[in-house]
Amino acid sequence: MEQERVPVLVVGGGYAGLSAAALLAWREVPVILVERHASTSVQPKAFGVGPQALEMLRSVPGVEEELTAIWAGIGENMRIAIAGSLADPQPRMIVHDEQEEFAFMAELTPVPAVGAPQAEIERILRTKAEDLGADLRFSTELVSLEQDAAGVSAVIRDKDGERLVRAEYVIAADGYRSPLRAALDVPTSGKGSLGELCSIMFDADLSGLVREREVTLWYLQNDVFTGVIVTGTGTGSHVLGVNLKEGESEADFTEERCVELVRLATGRPELDVRVLDRPLVGISHVLADTYRAGRVFFAGDAAHTMPPTGGQGGSTALEDGCELAWRLWLVLSGQAGPAFLDTYDAERRPIGRLMADSQLANLGVRMPPAARVGYPEPLEDPIGVLLGRRYHSSAIIDEPGDDGSILEDPRVPTGRPGSRAPHVVLDWDGQLISAIDLFGTGFVLLAAKPGGQVWMDAGRLVKDRLGIRLTRLLVGDELVDVEGRFMERYGVREGGAVLVRPDGYVAWRSPDADPDPLGTLERVLRRILSR
């Protein structure tokens, strides 16, 4: 059997797999991705990219610009509501109105709001990954996988037959059923299957029902069905999702019935409707009890299958892929020890549960086919979920008295270890940038004049001694703190310093001057990198 070798094999060509492949290739790590389907998604599916996912993806040249261009061609706003139909003169509840609620986001992140259908997002990520050298193989499936102390042996099959791929690590991004998760006997928890939804993709003239240049996502609760309708996705079509009732099956959703359901959902009994597709989609709340099985790492729906209510499943999957890419790069390049990879499970699994539970809570309110006994309550502040998540692992050095929380209010940034590095406006040689623009290529050591030069000197020595990618930047020298917020937002005083990881999270900080900056910084980096 023909054999190939590659550092990383990715199984699955959805959000998690494609983001991992793109970020690995961008970091010049050879990667093979196999996907059993012939192409990326053709349905809108998940819509939009969360700000934290986009902050990591924007490191790949052109990704942010292309995603922003798609959104510019689609609309200017997204509105989410609960109603009986699109024709209701007054929705029962406005869940979200982007223009009204999110104007303040420009104070927290440099990335724009991006609403784009999954089909377009996957297309962009696929193109970028391939342009960067990733080997993406569609119509190719994983047949078997075996692990040993030195790596993974995977048999894959395409139209030309089977071949053996020898990889050091595998990313299992193979969907909510995850054959790899089952084959490796990874236990799961959660509410399990919550039913099915018929996803009716249709074409119709909805003029007068929806605002121009707005994506409308309305959760429908009426006497006939519960579900959700999404319009204005930029694909030239719309989607109506209808919850299956007990005893219903795919056979019940004939083209004629789908047309009638669309008419009910829009409130236009004479609407001319053309049904384009009508697959069944499972709704589940399934959480892998570990994100790592030897040399295999689970990402996306394989790690955390969540209801669609809240729209963060896709962004969470994108983040998984990005988070795995930089960790694998550090280990494969020798900058971090193998134990460093344990931090993926330690950090991402609590976030996966948080996001899944949040969407489960939304399901009970927005799409309730029955009483949701035992469901969590919806979060009072969804902004914390978007930008206020915190990590705890051996790659984060908590400060004394840290409360161990995994959420904080991003509108009041603390800069404490485990939190996302705050957005601060800086001037770099006459160009205004965000502090977020500094992160992605490696670790970044930040300190402020006049006492920060000792950290810059220590960083130069430690960088050479450990052989790591470390950028040293002095605020007040090459970087000008335009609004005078750096020290306040990062929680450092004169002589202090902060270390930020490639994913934009604060790994450690010294709020004040240190008597031994060289020794401290080397100990910190050795501990963080499992050296």
Give the residue numbers marked as catalytic: 219
Dihedral sign of CA atoms 98, 99, 101, 107 in order = positive
How far is Cα 194 from Cα 373, in angstroms, rounded to an integer? 13
Q: Are 321 and 173 in contact (CB under 8 A)?
A: yes
Q: At what angle do helices 313-332 and 342-366 cross, to 10 degrees?
A: 180
Q: Are 297 and 180 in contact (CB under 8 A)?
A: no
Torsion of Cα atoms, 14 then 18 then 19 then 20, to 10°: 110
How far is Cα 15 from Cα 10, in angstroms, rounded to an integer? 12
Q: Are 166 and 4 in contact (CB under 8 A)?
A: yes
Burial profile 258-293: b = 16 or more Cβ within 10 angstroms, e = fewer = bbebbbbbbbbeebebebbebeeeebbbbbbeebbb
| Residue 412, token pair as written in the block | 């009041």
How far is Cα 19 from Cα 300, in angstroms, rounded to an integer? 10
215 φ/ψ angles, rounded to the nearest 5 degrees: -85, 125
How far is Cα 390 from Cα 150, in angstroms, rounded to an integer? 33
Distances (CA, A) of 142 to 153, 258, 426: 11, 35, 47
Distances (CA, A) of 120 to 3, 140, 408, 462: 34, 22, 32, 43
Distances (CA, A) of 497 to 234, 461, 484, 507, 510: 45, 16, 16, 11, 5
> Residue 387's closest CA among 102, 122, 116?
102
Question: Residue 457: helix, strand or coil by DSSP?
Answer: helix
Q: Are 393 and 291 in contact (CB under 8 A)?
A: no
